[in-house]
Amino acid sequence: MITKEAVLKALSNVQEPDLGKDLVTLNMVRDIEIDGKNVSFTVVLTTPACPLKEMIEKACINAIHILVDKEATVKVHLTANVNSNRTDNKNVLPGIKNIIMVASGKGGVGKSTVSVNLALGLAQEGASVGLLDADIYGPSMPIMMGLRDERPMMTEVNGKGMIVPIEKYGIKVMSIGLLVDEKQAIVWRGPMASSALKQFITDVHWQELDYLIIDLPPGTGDVHLTLVQAVPVTGAVVVSTPQAVAAADARKAIMMFKQPQINIPIVGVVENMAYFTPAELPENKYYIFGKGGAKQMADQFELPFLGEIPIVQSIREGGDKGVPAIMGDEPVTQKAFKDLAQSVARNIAIRNANLEPTKVVQIAGY
């Protein structure tokens, strides 16, 4: 006779590969039901974008067959509850579990393209996602997300007027570009830009989100310091291209996050424009900007390498048309961005399990 205790004991031998503990210890096994030789239970993953879910499901079935009853019919339901280790008072962005910055040391490396497709990739896996364009001087989200003529609405929350982010492709989007005419240059000094950004944090009604992706401006300046002092950042993704010049500037972004007074975990490094693949020859790779510069940098700093994004015409076309590449039908780019989303989600889950809780950075003298 199969018992609940026997099932739990068997599943205590199944490890969560990233977190290094068994499913029972991690309280990931729920709703065990037994009917004769029919066994069903739910495994609650730490993210819907978990790339190892099929492996975990197979390991659970094997554990029951080997340790309980080889003739059992096993049904594993996989669901997800995105983990978070926020321990702040949640006065700011209270409903958001994980806040991820996407940064680069210089402009032109495709950081906004990565941010948009990363956010959509996480949403496609079943997560609730928001996208904040923190590039006050050069906002690109309205064009890339097909929101050029859209304007956000206002709502009242607890007696306070709040901006409602615009929803598109299943994610919530906010950008200064949605509030001003796209032909108008934003000529502001640093304090004004920082003040506007603080309003996006405190006055936008994001509601409940698993991930908020913040697309940072290039460099290491006012906006970056404002954000780390205003919100509890879970981690940062650093974008670079293969050539030495871009990698040198990306190192500066890494060193900014690693400064003792900032100390924000780096989720990993992604190499954009890694190689060119022509549509008619999808198996061919031409390394026109060099090869492996971002990978070498990740290895140098002992950071996870999140993957390579190719140069494909559909990525550029999608950004210009307001239909991001991951929403298109070109398989090379879809796979690249889907793999990136899974890698980021996986490394965020590992970060939350193993590192200090997320908190707002206190910086004296800045």
CATH, residue 62 = 3.30.300.130
pLDDT in tens, 17-58: 888 889 999 999 999 999 998 999 999 998 888 888 899 999
Are both 130 and 220 inside the same structural domain? yes
Q: Which pLDDT band holds residue 89 (cuts at 50, 70, 90)?
A: confident
Q: Verify that 76 and 144 share a domain, yes or no.
A: no
CATH for 260: 3.40.50.300
- Domain membership flag for residue 86: no
Asked if 56 and 114 sit in the same domain, the reply is: no
Tokens 């992604």 -> residue:
270
Its domain, for residue 59, covers 4-80
Residue 4: closest CA among 68, 93, 78, 77: 68
- 143 with 28, same domain: the answer is no
User: Do both 64 and 152 map to the same domain?
Assistant: no
68 and 39 co-located in one domain: yes
Domain count, the chain: 2
238 and 311 inside one domain: yes
Using only C-alpha atoms, the chain has a radius of gyration, in whole angstroms, of: 22
**Are 168 and 285 found together in one domain?**
yes
- The residue length of the chain stands at 366
Residue 352 three-state SS: helix
Statement to judge: residues 152 and 234 lie in one domain: yes
Contact yes or no for 7/23 (Cβ under 8 A):
no
Pairing of strands 160-164, 266-271: unpaired
Q: In what order do the strands lie in the sheet with 129-133?
A: 166-168, 171-175, 129-133, 209-215, 96-103, 235-240, 266-271, 305-308
147 shares a domain with 67: no
Under the banding of pLDDT at 50, 70 and 90, the label for residue 157 is confident
Q: Specify if 14 maps to a domain.
A: yes
pLDDT tens figures, 307-345: 999 988 888 888 888 999 999 888 888 999 999 999 999
Domain boundary pick from 54, 80, 106: 80
In a domain, 361, yes or no: no
In a domain, 90, yes or no: no
